[in-house]
Amino acid sequence: MKTSNKMDFLRSLIDRGDIYYNIKGSSPEAALSSFSKVLRLPKTMDRLGLERALIEREGLGTTALGEGFAIPHSRKQVAVDEASAFVAVAYLDTAIDWKAPDGKPVTTLFLILSAGVENHLSVLSGIACLAGKSEFRVFMARRPSKKELLEYLQAHGDGVGCQA
């Protein structure tokens, strides 16, 4: 699915995904393992393969953005097609040292499962842009529900300067 607006596209992927609370782990690898075990995945996705791909990618370099956010993702295409692509959000049980550029521990994950490079890069840049906005960081610190997050993106997405 392609849209001309990266915030609309990001909203659609979050709408297909879900939000998970209190994901446990004392390291990025442990948190990714815990998260991958509770994710609701399409039947075509291999859960163990996804877990391994996320941990392998993290081993190449941190996916932490700073300001408490990380965007774990696989180097390989995981979703079979755009219809099975989604973004899932995880609020960690405790903050984890994710080797973020700013040194701040990570509290929130935006897991990206995409089917194509162009859309993957659009989602990455959209999340990175949002994470750079203090208003968004304050909002996310409240650990909003999926409905609240989608409403926020609908109301504020076009005004945050994160357009394609």
As annotated, the active-site residues are: 73
Structure tokens at 126: 């959209």
* DSSP strands (E only) in the chain: 19-23, 64-66, 69-70, 86-96, 106-113
- Residue 101's alpha-carbon distances to 16, 62, 74, 130, in angstroms, are 30, 9, 20, 16
Q: Which of 107, 35, 29, 120 is nearest to 74 (CA)?
A: 120
